Structure 1
Amino acid sequence: MDNTQQSSSRSATPADDSATGGSSPSTQEAVKAPPRITDLSKPEYYINRELSHLQFNTRVLEQALNEEHPLLERLRFLLIYSSNIDEFFEIRVAGLMQQIGYGRELVGLDGMGPRAVLKEINAHAKEQVTRQYQILNETLLPALKEENIHFIKRSELNEKQRIWVKRFFYNEVMPIISPIGLDPAHPFPRLANKLLCFIVSLEGKDAFGRDTGMAVIPAPRSLPRVIRLPDDICDNDGTNYVFLSSIIHRHMEDLFPGMKVKGCYQFRLTRNSDLDLEDEVEDLAKALQGELLSRRYGEAVRLEVVDNCPQPLVDFLLKEFGLTEEEVYRVNGPVNLTRLMSVCNNGADEHLTFTPFTPEYPKVLQPRPNSTENVLDYVKKADILLHHPYESFTPVIDMLRQAAKDPNVLAIRQTLYRTGAHSEMADALVEAARHGKEVTVVVEIRARFDEEENLALALRLQEAGAVVVYGVVGYKTHAKMMLIVRREGRSIQRYAHLGTGNYHAGNARLYTDYSLLTCDKDITNDVRKIFQQLTGMGKAFKVRKLLHAPFTLKKGLIDRINHEAANAKEGKSARIIIKINALTEKQMIRALYKASQAGVKIDLIVRGICCLRPGIEGLSENIQVRSIVGRFLEHSRVFYFENDGESQVYCSSADGMSRNLNNRIETCFPVEEPKMANRIRKELELFLSDNVRSWTLQSDGSYVQNKPTRGQRRRNVQRKLLESLTNYVSGVSRSP
């Protein structure tokens, strides 16, 4: 199925760009009820989690072919696909292989065991990886060449370039590269995860008379994989790159003097990178440090090798790594594409990248002449809702920074998941601690692939005098919340920030998320209780307005879904709109199925994994699922319930996954101010009207890209929000 050439039969209702699109949430469509399915446990009603994950990555890869994106952004999408697939194998495939190895094969909702899933994964992933390299070689590299961005092959180097490359090899590569000949005294080396390597076949004897015929060369990780050539040695006035692999390959015989190199082939090994921490550990930080040392050398899960590598050498590598032919991925190009990302960030011509924009700083927070008011003073007057990246993340940083200096602020508490040891948020917390504030930070050091950075962050905060807590063993702290306690006269006032995304200013420019700044007494008291629960011990506190996992969140959401179903049965207005990153939780899916059967119109905006099958008669014909893939990573989690005209809007740090609802510390907060709640609803409707960057999930598990029908205006939700919420200039010839 060519998803790029099809349009959905359930495409969005035609509407003008200025309209919210779709029908009003209070409108109930009269649907003739088909025979109701009662057994919701049948495997055919669920989509496999891992295969749905691969479908999302395929939608990312599709962006590399989208000519509406600037050229370097198309290359970036192709490289993001590589990064996503790497992590998929390091974590998800590794987990399936581990199940088989330990003899603990689990069958999912869809009825598939790990062996069947792995077979499907390899078939799908190999097809898409082959397609990825075709896009690179046949589409993107020629297009980049037309834009005067050249990747010079070693056979294409001119005389000046050959001299420069040789000098680079001897000065930069030769001193740190370590060829390893293979013989009884030099067994096959233990290679780190995703390290670019070469397998070399040799002829002749070395200085000691050895004739092993084979060597392995790990490429130095300290060197870039793409090197820009000086302009004065190039035959054109463009930008010229050469791959490190080409430089090493060209001078391979210099590494084996007196011997003949018969063949040299790139390969890369992917290993299990998931960390396994026991629930009963005395010191979580020390245990994690020990695990990090072993991450680079986990069990092998995938072998990537250039497609011209002879089969005997491939078989030799497979034997060394304990893999089979099923785990081999033959590629027509560099085996470590992700390292090309530096090309996308190398200050190229503006027309090759997305049009820049400046996130809007809310007018209500902009300083007035001669005013000494700060963010806390404004929040005291009214709640503030921010939609990132269209609206700036700076107010959140300002709120913390100003609190750090405010002599009336007594205490600051914050959760940190992915932030960075030297970020602005970390700087403000350090400053607050040094100013004598009672600073308590819950640092989730187990945030995957950010563990080392979070350990460094925790150490820095501790050295500044902050109290650092690592959360709860067995439950990742994924909630995004900040609490500021300030003395105001004779009373104590609390202020809170609650968000759907991490406290990471860089991600706030790339991810879509909501932030709420509030001093609502019930909400801030709920936040206080959750912090006390995280840092202290005792029974779970009863909270008034927040839903929090693993205690009330899942039940609270399912209760509201069930309430919509009850309203529909009674003829009352009922509607559900949910925007999340993934949906896998069995009980939530079944509640949505039952609500659909009751006649509730349900729209799910699920960026990635979705195990629910929409459009099944008698089960889910009232459910539509769409995914938005565009310039920004859709990351906000929002739950809208019509509630017979008394609508409820919640934003959350949690997705609809078992791990979020059952095994993490999460928060879900209400947006109660009518104008703010209405704004979120309208923005959700905008997402449902998108016919440019959206894909609709079919009942067979495939996705079809939505496209404007004849006479219908193009509706790109991310572009619309850019134009309405920022200083982004519309009317350019290319799409964001």
Structure 2
Amino acid sequence: MSSSPVAAESRYLNRELAWLEFNSRVLDQADDARVHLLERAKFLAITASNLDEFVMVRVGSLKLQGQGSSGRRDPAGLTASEQLQAVATRCHRHVGRQYKILLDDLQPQLAEHRITRVDLDQCSERLRAVAERHFRGDVVAVLSPQALHDRRFPMLPGLGIHLCVQLRGVAELAPQNMPQILPAHEPSSDPQSDDEEPQFAVIPLGRTLPRIVPLPIDKQATDPAMDVSSDGDPDAHESSFSYVLLEDLVSHFVDEFFPGREVVQCKPFRITRNADVELREDGAGDLLGGMEEVLESRRLSDVVRLEMDASASDEIRNYLMESFYVDPDYVFRTEGPLDLTYLFGLHGVKGFDALRDEAWPPQRSPAVDPAEPMFSSIAAGDIMLMHPYETFDPVVRLIEEAATDPDVLAVKQILYRTSRDSPIVAALKRAAERGKYVTAIVELKARFDEARNIEWAREMEQSGVQVIYGIRGLKTHAKVCIIVRREPQGLVRYMHFGTGNYNEVTANLYGDVSLLTKDETFGTDATMFFNAVTGSSHPQPLQQLAIAPLTLRRTILELIRGETERSRQGQKAHIMVKLNALVDMEVIDTLYEASQAGVKIQLNVRGVCCLRPGIAGLSESIEVVSIVDRFLEHARVFYFRHGGDPQIFISSADWMPRNLDRRIELLVPVNDPAIRRRLRETLQLYFRDNQNAWAMQSDGAYERVVPGKKQKPIRSQESLYRKAVKTLQDIQEKQQSTQSRFETHRPRE
């Protein structure tokens, strides 16, 4: 470790607070007037979705640590309870800002552009009648109210919206034997006896009914000259959309569920359950069955957050808090609608293209000829695809062609996350059904994708695919596909290595890198790696690839130390890194040592960064930027100057303890000079971004990078897309020019 005088607790930032700082940068996109209105709404939805997962996993984990009362401190010097308090404070501030942006800015602007959220208490009688018809015809028959006795709630799912109804009056029926969700050691504190009338009921809204309910345009709230259809068709006017949220609709007509009783108040609430439930593999003989138990445990886990309408009565608030045993610090009372992910639905409403980003359709890679088999394209030389600027189709095509090619003998692939209707999974099944030797490592422990992966695993097994569920105690996170093909010169292995998942949907949204190659050394290494994973054996030393948890950490540290030593010897030394997260203390300390030796270090870290840049005597030569733009930056790319002979790598791994020590990951060198040059130029571009880049300060705060007076605006993602378009256009124009030449037929000699 470095001998820097900087105190140990000042060397690192807290991981949880650093993540919240990242989500704040995403929220800044929702608050940026330069961003199109519906894109701002989408960014607000993203921050809500991000925060849900953070609370489920990270807050859930801290709660479990706090229960242990070990007093253990994180690298920043905070105990679990101190972190929980700091996180709660930051979350409340973050949520307050979310709703200020929504209510004071986005919602009024959306209304100006005729995207209107209807208030059923203030709309016209005609519109209210349409809403009532929808409620009676499509809602009442689906939902069921449930009276609550002795705080015995039905088993409510996390993240769903439910209505808590406060009642008066006599109930004729009192259901018995409702499921008990209170811990067995916690007796009910409700003073009511069993024979007293219930004062509360709950209406779970479920996931069957759409949250956004379209309504016809209200003439009272729009231009009277507008042509409004009478059939309630939301597309009757292409630039108008009126809607009510399901919870508002049900709340307005909630009396229908309780005839003969007085509804005192009806307010929406939402609970978040602890999702930090992991499989105890030492006691799980059947991994598939064990993962199904994990999913069930997550469904029944403790509540770690309670959200409710700010106008809910104290009786409702106290009832819910006491029923779910929620820490008061994690009770959120919001002025607007709960669960802002409904804004994703508004982003997709037809007829408002002017309020969305210009379409950037992925471009065809010039290195891939659509008229030729993928095997021919790869045989001509290594191919790099930069997603989503270049289409993911060649990766899908490669596997689909392998499924039907009679010369393909085997396909081996790791699947961590896939799309719902994955063409890659379909191709693997098809290959097995045609008699090819197909092996798939399906990671059942991919958090929140466990259920889908279990389903895929069973389907592939039924088709004859040899399915492996990974390695005990480790998640298999590497992205690799190996295709073994018989060719005249013998067996040839074609490979895909990636930084992202085999998911053609997210490949249009995430910035990632794919490498397609038939390099012999890579083929040998990849096969040995794959066989070691499937055979539960110790892998032999590899020539080019590095594997976590065996050699990847050591390789990264050696590369950083190599630059440190060159700088100490008076050579130029430079490191450029693109990551999603930098958390690992040993890697951070090694970067600090490199900085103290004078190495120029540029870190492009999208999310969590626990390193402090720019501290005298510790990290003066380290620069950290974060790019937050329309695409999620997801690629992991590493550059080391290496004495003027640059070494560049792509990887599936971030620099976090879990990636380096508890996952199966790959580090892949890039050997093709043209591809190396392109990746280096791309890394350099990110550090010139002055439109959507944020510079990290030594205290962990971020400041937006702005162009100087004489600097031209540079937006890295737009530059990458425009370059992909121009490169393809130039090649197509050259091809057309060649094809347009007149060639004469000559007589035979």
Q: What TM-score comes out, normalization by structure 2 length?
A: 0.90
Percent of residue pairs identical: 39
- Partner of 1:487, secondary structure, is strand
Question: What is the CA distance between 1:105 and its match in structure 2?
Answer: 4.5
Per the alignment, residue 285 of structure 1 pairs with 288
Per the alignment, residue 478 of structure 1 pairs with 477
- Partner of 2:281, secondary structure, is coil
Amino acid at match of 1:215: A
Per the alignment, residue 263 of structure 2 pairs with 261
Question: 8 Å contact 1:272–1:301 — kept in the other structure?
Answer: yes
Per the alignment, residue 276 of structure 2 pairs with 274
Per the alignment, residue 562 of structure 1 pairs with 561
Distance across 1 between alignment mates of 2:155 and 2:366: 57
1:93 and 2:59 aligned: yes
Partner of residue 308 from structure 1, selected from 302, 308, 311: 311
1:49 and 2:15 aligned: yes
Partner of residue 64 from structure 1, selected from 23, 30, 49: 30
Distance across 2 between alignment mates of 1:357 and 1:187: 51
1:539 and 2:541 aligned: no
Question: 8 Å contact 1:359–1:727 — kept in the other structure?
Answer: no
Question: What is the CA distance between 1:374 and its match in structure 2?
Answer: 1.1
Distance across 2 between alignment mates of 1:82 and 1:564: 41
Question: What is the CA distance between 1:538 and its match in structure 2?
Answer: 2.3
Per the alignment, residue 224 of structure 1 pairs with 210
Question: 8 Å contact 2:44–2:343 — kept in the other structure?
Answer: no
Residue 341 and residue 526 in structure 1: after superposition, are their counterparts in 2 closer, same or farther (change >3 A)? same
Distance across 2 between alignment mates of 1:64 and 1:109: 32
Per the alignment, residue 648 of structure 2 pairs with 649
Distance across 2 between alignment mates of 1:339 and 1:551: 43
Question: What is the CA distance between 1:74 and its match in structure 2?
Answer: 0.5
Per the alignment, residue 524 of structure 2 pairs with 525
Amino acid at match of 1:188: F
Partner of residue 41 from structure 2, selected from 68, 72, 75: 75
Per the alignment, residue 249 of structure 1 pairs with 251
Distance across 2 between alignment mates of 1:725 and 1:363: 9
Question: What is the CA distance between 1:310 and its match in structure 2?
Answer: 2.1
1:570-620 deviations in Å (ceiling 9; x for gaps): 011100001000000111000000000000000000000000000110010
- Partner of 1:347, secondary structure, is coil
Question: 8 Å contact 2:117–2:242 — kept in the other structure?
Answer: yes
1:155 and 2:121 aligned: yes
Question: 8 Å contact 1:357–1:728 — kept in the other structure?
Answer: no
Partner of residue 93 from structure 2, selected from 108, 127, 152: 127
720-729 or 591-600, which deviates more: 720-729
Distance across 2 between alignment mates of 1:727 and 1:451: 41
Per the alignment, residue 321 of structure 1 pairs with 324
Per the alignment, residue 503 of structure 2 pairs with 504
1:412-440 deviations in Å (ceiling 9; x for gaps): 00001111353111121111111111000
Q: How does 1:254-653 map to 2 (within 5 A)?
A: 254-280=256-282, 281-367=284-370, 373-420=372-419, 422-489=421-488, 491-653=490-652
Distance across 2 between alignment mates of 1:346 and 1:300: 34
1:200 and 2:165 aligned: yes
Question: What is the CA distance between 1:327 and its match in structure 2?
Answer: 1.3
1:349-376 deviations in Å (ceiling 9; x for gaps): 21111111221212232245xxxx4111
Distance across 2 between alignment mates of 1:487 and 1:212: 73
1:306-340 deviations in Å (ceiling 9; x for gaps): 11112232122111111232111110111122133
Question: What is the CA distance between 1:727 and its match in structure 2?
Answer: 6.6
Distance across 2 between alignment mates of 1:203 and 1:672: 75
Question: 8 Å contact 1:307–1:332 — kept in the other structure?
Answer: yes
1:700-720 deviations in Å (ceiling 9; x for gaps): 110111111223211100010
Residue 195 and residue 421 in structure 1: after superposition, are their counterparts in 2 closer, same or farther (change >3 A)? closer
- Partner of 2:666, secondary structure, is strand
Distance across 1 between alignment mates of 2:549 and 2:470: 13
Per the alignment, residue 199 of structure 2 pairs with 213
Question: 8 Å contact 1:37–1:618 — kept in the other structure?
Answer: no
- Partner of 1:178, secondary structure, is coil
720-729 or 378-387, which deviates more: 720-729
- Partner of 2:687, secondary structure, is helix
- Partner of 1:333, secondary structure, is coil
258-267 or 466-475, which deviates more: 258-267
Question: What is the CA distance between 1:229 and its match in structure 2?
Answer: 1.4
Amino acid at match of 2:295: L
Question: 8 Å contact 2:403–2:428 — kept in the other structure?
Answer: yes
Per the alignment, residue 188 of structure 1 pairs with 153
Question: 8 Å contact 1:224–1:244 — kept in the other structure?
Answer: yes
Question: What is the CA distance between 1:347 and its match in structure 2?
Answer: 2.3
Amino acid at match of 2:274: N
Distance across 2 between alignment mates of 1:348 and 1:123: 40
Question: 8 Å contact 1:302–1:323 — kept in the other structure?
Answer: yes
Q: Which has the higher contact order (CA 8 A, sep 6+)?
A: 1
Question: 8 Å contact 1:696–1:703 — kept in the other structure?
Answer: yes
Per the alignment, residue 68 of structure 2 pairs with 102
Question: What is the CA distance between 1:490 and its match in structure 2?
Answer: 5.0
Amino acid at match of 1:206: A
Amino acid at match of 2:722: E
Question: What is the CA distance between 1:302 and its match in structure 2?
Answer: 0.5
Aligned length: 690
- Partner of 1:96, secondary structure, is helix
Distance across 2 between alignment mates of 1:298 and 1:141: 35
| CA root-mean-square deviation | 1.8
Question: 8 Å contact 2:583–2:609 — kept in the other structure?
Answer: yes
Distance across 2 between alignment mates of 1:88 and 1:537: 33
1:89-110 deviations in Å (ceiling 9; x for gaps): 0000000011111334531111
Per the alignment, residue 176 of structure 1 pairs with 142
Amino acid at match of 1:526: D
Question: What is the CA distance between 1:221 and its match in structure 2?
Answer: 2.1
Question: What is the CA distance between 1:188 and its match in structure 2?
Answer: 2.9
Question: What is the CA distance between 1:37 and its match in structure 2?
Answer: 4.8
62-71 or 405-414, which deviates more: 62-71
Distance across 2 between alignment mates of 1:169 and 1:49: 46
Per the alignment, residue 242 of structure 2 pairs with 240
